[in-house]
Amino acid sequence: MRTPGSTPKAMIVVGVDGSEPSARALRWAAEEAASRGGELEVVHVWERPQVYGSMGIGAYPVDPQPSQDEARKVLDRALADARAMVPTVTVHGRLEEGGPGAVLVDASHHADLLVVGSRGLGGLRSLLLGSVSRQAAHEGACPVVIVPTRRDGPTNE
pLDDT tens track for 128-144: 557 889 999 999 999 99
pTM value is 0.82
* Residues 6 or more apart whose Cβ sits within 8 Å of residue 134: 101
Amino acid, single-letter form, for residue 4: P
For residue 2, is pLDDT > 60?
no
CA distance 125 to 128: 6
Task: State the average pLDDT over residues 20-26.
Answer: 94
Distances (CA, A) of 145 to 59, 61, 74, 121: 37, 37, 21, 19
Number of Cβ within a 10 Å radius of residue 55: 6
More confident residue, 6 or 27: 27
State the average pLDDT for the chain: 85
Banded pLDDT at 13 (limits 50, 70, 90): very high
Query: Which CATH number describes the domain made up of 11-147?
Result: 3.40.50.620
**Burial per residue of 127-155, b for 16 or more beta-carbon CB atoms within 10 angstroms, e otherwise:** eebbebbbbbbeebebebbbbbbeeeeee
Q: Tell me what pLDDT residue 154 has.
A: 46
Q: Tell me what pLDDT residue 54 has.
A: 67
| Domain residue ranges in the chain | 11-147
For 61-90, write each residue's pLDDT tens digit.
788 899 999 999 999 999 999 999 999 999
Banded pLDDT at 149 (limits 50, 70, 90): confident
CA distance 136 to 114: 8
Q: Give strand pairing partners of 39.
A: 11, 90
Banded pLDDT at 50 (limits 50, 70, 90): confident
For residue 123, is pLDDT > 50?
no
Banded pLDDT at 53 (limits 50, 70, 90): low
